[in-house]
Structure 1
């Protein structure tokens, strides 16, 4: 494998939920730290081969390096010519209260973390890279796919909803995208118990590793994935007495804020799903229980059928399936990209700008001609609502008219 790895940072989205920072002014000065991977290999077939860029979003309590294993495997597939597409740039970002972003924002964060703010942060990272380096362009020759797990599945999906032209498609792995008031009450009771098991300070590095490898719900994570995660999460510092201690970058209070932020965020995500306008792949673990059982059918039914490209149930997978069964997840991503390569190549050949070879007058006459005739469905980029997954009926009793 031949790629560079650079740790970078940029400003987080400056407009945030009330309570997101302890001092309101600090919302304008939050930082997102991210890993940028860049291929060192030339594209084998630059005239015909589609280039992919990938953006990875982690779940609550994790960090950008949870995806390092997957990224290396995907570069290997690309550079050994086992797939028809070429992998160029990959981004894996730390959410504002996680990993190195947490250290950069120390003392600024408040108890409110809405996941849609996280989606806007990822958009900021993508736009920053495009502005400053020209990478992550989502154009006719290079497509940017966003991939996320759990909270990161919500973030990936919502980012694509907010900025569909920035992203080609979404791969959501065990995404948390569904909830009801009844679910919320059960979750609060459950989380009151779970939160007591979250630790962020240890006397020795051995104690810290033991916590993640033997005690925490992370204990079944693939060993290589675990090593990457721990190497980016645990750091040595000193306590108030000047003694050496080992800390976790994602502090307990901020981690709890991220977990409980789901209840403020899920209604927004549920409303956004039917309006998503990019291809969406829904991946779950067949034995996962973090999401309510009814969530799978609801999510897959909420997506407009023309954008729902399928659901994959990973056999014996739990909620942390991305980290526990990384090879299965890599295979799913590989297969999705390969199929998407085939589909997009056909779609691209039918785009008016491509068909008319960029002739502005011909494009104007053709597309505005459709508009003036009322042929809205035939205008490139025009979307008419055809999918209504919610109950739109209004009874006389409900009506205020």
Structure 2
């Protein structure tokens, strides 16, 4: 995999300030602490100037994972998307949420006892703005792809920054799940379920072999593709002076992720009808992590939702069957690109600005058009709510 990545891309690892202020309890000392986000940028090493469409992709991981799970996708996505001369990858960005991976290492002493998933989406929008804007050409498209918690956050991006992404792809997104009823509307889980979750979340190990054994036999990731789980394990491991190994994400921050879906999920559910970006959803055919109502909600409330299935896929289908996911993802991108008028060239777009007077003429022309569209006779009614 390393050979493919080195051949295809120039890779940069960057650190950016996380969005602030964050939800209450997100940092330990709210008057002092500012979190940081670590992310990788893979910029294609090939000439993309001849491509009709250049594609930027932002990948968001699920709870307990890290950005390394998407390296497989960065390495092998061009095998599918690169076969068409009309399209080319420009950038791929993978980021660690503030409580995960290298971000967790930087923020370790500052993390509080709340991780609002929408805060992670706000971080994602900030990273996308830094890396994808302004667009390199009128035919450059931005896509966000998220799994599980990352799928939730990808949907949030469609609300928080509605014009940033041209397409949203979600894999087994967690949005609507049952919890113990309570007046505060927060996520409360039964003790038995809490115990079951914690049994999958060890964070300190006697040695690297012990960590590998845990990841391959007792963790959530035991059925993952060998290349993905190996890279995830090596990336996550931190060697301690006494010879032991710990994970970058602590057991406490890991469980916090599972206990903080609500009340933000209610905000997202209420906002789903306002997501105008096309959403493509991959569902695992044998997954039981999310109840059927989760998908029914997306189907009924998203204006443009394309539901798809991987029949034998489980909740971690992106880790366990990446080839099927890659085929689906490239199909969605092709579907979107097929709806773009590639023959229009740049004729519908304004030429480069050459002077202040050019800007004034451009504004005058657009303002005249705007007035003609917005000033008309007709019946006066109240705005529809």
Structure 1 residue 154 corresponds to structure 2 residue 160: no
Partner of 1:394: none
CA displacement at 1:197 relative to structure 2: 3.2
In structure 2, the partner of 1:250 is: 249
User: 1:341 maps to what in 2?
Assistant: 337
Cross-structure match for 2:10 = 4
Q: For 2:258, what is the secondary structure of its paired residue?
A: helix
| More off after superposition, 187-196 vs 6-15 | 187-196
What's the counterpart of residue 390 of structure 1?
Answer: none
Q: For 2:193 and 2:319, locate their aligned partners in 1 and report how far apart those are by CA, in whole Å.
A: 23
Where does residue 391 of structure 1 map in the other structure? none
Conservation of the 8 A alpha-carbon contact between 1:356 and 1:362: no
- 2:195 corresponds in structure 1 to 192
CA contact (8 A) 1:53 1:136 kept: no
Q: Over the residues paired in the alignment, what is the CA RMSD in angstroms?
A: 2.6
Deviation at 1:26, TM superposition (A): 4.0
Once the 2 structures are TM-superposed, how far is the Cα of residue 231 of structure 1 from its aligned partner? 1.9
SS of structure 2 residue aligned to 1:4: strand
What TM-score does the superposition give when structure 1 sets the normalisation length? 0.83
1:41 to 41, 46, 52: 46
Counterpart position of 2:355: none
The structural deviation recorded for 1:187 is 6.2
Question: 178-187 vs 364-373, which deviates more?
Answer: 178-187
TM-fit CA distance, 1:44? 5.9
Aligned-partner Cα distance in 1 for 2:137–2:127: 17
Q: Which runs of 5+ in 2 are unaligned?
A: 1-6, 182-186, 353-361
Where 1:25 maps in the other structure, the secondary structure is: coil
User: Aligned residue for 1:329?
Assistant: 325
Q: Which secondary structure state, in structure 1, belongs to the residue aligned with residue 77 of structure 2?
A: helix
In the other structure, the counterpart of 1:378 is none
Q: Deviations over 1:179-231 (max 9, x none)?
A: 35558556664233322331000011010001011111210000111122112
Q: Paired residue for 2:235?
A: 232
Cα 1:192–1:214 shift into 2, 3 Å? closer
Q: 2:21 aligns with which of 15, 19, 25?
A: 15
Is 2:67–2:101's contact at 8 Å kept on the other side of the alignment? yes
1:30: which partner in 2?
Answer: 35
Structure 1's 259 and 44: CA in aligned 2 closer, same or farther, altered over 3 A? same
Question: Which of 118, 123, 126 is residue 124 of structure 1 equivalent to?
Answer: 126
Residue 4 of structure 1 deviates from its aligned partner by 1.3
Aligned residues: 361
Residue 36 (structure 1) shift: 0.7
Counterpart selection for 1:213 from 216, 226, 237: 216
Q: Secondary structure at the match of 1:38?
A: strand
Corresponding residue SS for 2:240: strand
- Using the alignment, how far apart are the partners of 2:119 and 2:48 within structure 1? 35
Q: Which of the residues 99, 102, 105 maps onto 1:100? A: 102
Tell me what 1:171 maps to: 169
Q: Distance in 2 between matches of 1:355 and 1:100?
A: 41
Cα distance in structure 1, aligned partners of 2:67 and 2:363: 43
Q: Distance in 2 between matches of 1:5 and 1:51?
A: 18
